Amino acid sequence: MQSMPPPTKDEFDFILKNEAWKSLIDNANIRLEALFLDSVNKVTDLWNLDSVSHSEASNGPSIMFSILRAKNDRADFVRGFQAASSIAFFKEGTSVIVARFDLPQSSAAIDTLKQCRTRLQISEDFDPFAK
């Protein structure tokens, strides 16, 4: 199985980690559904995600996925994240919940991240670790 390609400038990378996920193996492809929920748990947006698992041996069991900043199924992940009260992740096509997070103040946090990113003075094309 293949690992995910390196991120591009237009991606946000997310890692879900849980020490209980001991059955995960390195580089397994896992399909997830991410549901954005409002304050009364009504689904406001649904995302189908391709993720890659990592085992306990590689710094703890985790699942990693990437989101294009502005486009995935004609939606905007960041706007959905800012507007939602919570987000729930499921194994695709099942009712098996992987993780759920409340998102208090997520709008303010994303706004701060955007402001910080615009002030970033380091070139995103510069690799300081290259020999």
Residue 27 backbone phi and psi in degrees, to 5: 65, 25
pLDDT of res. 22: 87
pLDDT in 10s for each residue of the chain, 131 residues: 445 555 455 677 889 998 888 899 899 999 999 999 988 999 988 888 999 999 876 678 999 998 876 555 445 777 788 888 899 999 998 898 999 988 877 767 767 766 766 665 555 565 665 66
In angstroms, rounded to a whole number, what is the distance separating the alpha carbons of residues 127 and 121? 14
pLDDT of res. 12: 77
Asked if residue 29 lies in contact with residue 60, where contact means CB atoms within 8 angstroms, the answer is no
- In eight-state DSSP terms, residue 107 is H
Instruction: Spell out the domain ranges in the chain.
Output: 11-119
**Quick one: how far is CA 37 from the chain centroid?**
16
Residue 79 backbone phi and psi in degrees, to 5: -60, -40
Two tokens at 52? 């890659």
pLDDT of res. 74: 47
pLDDT of res. 111: 72
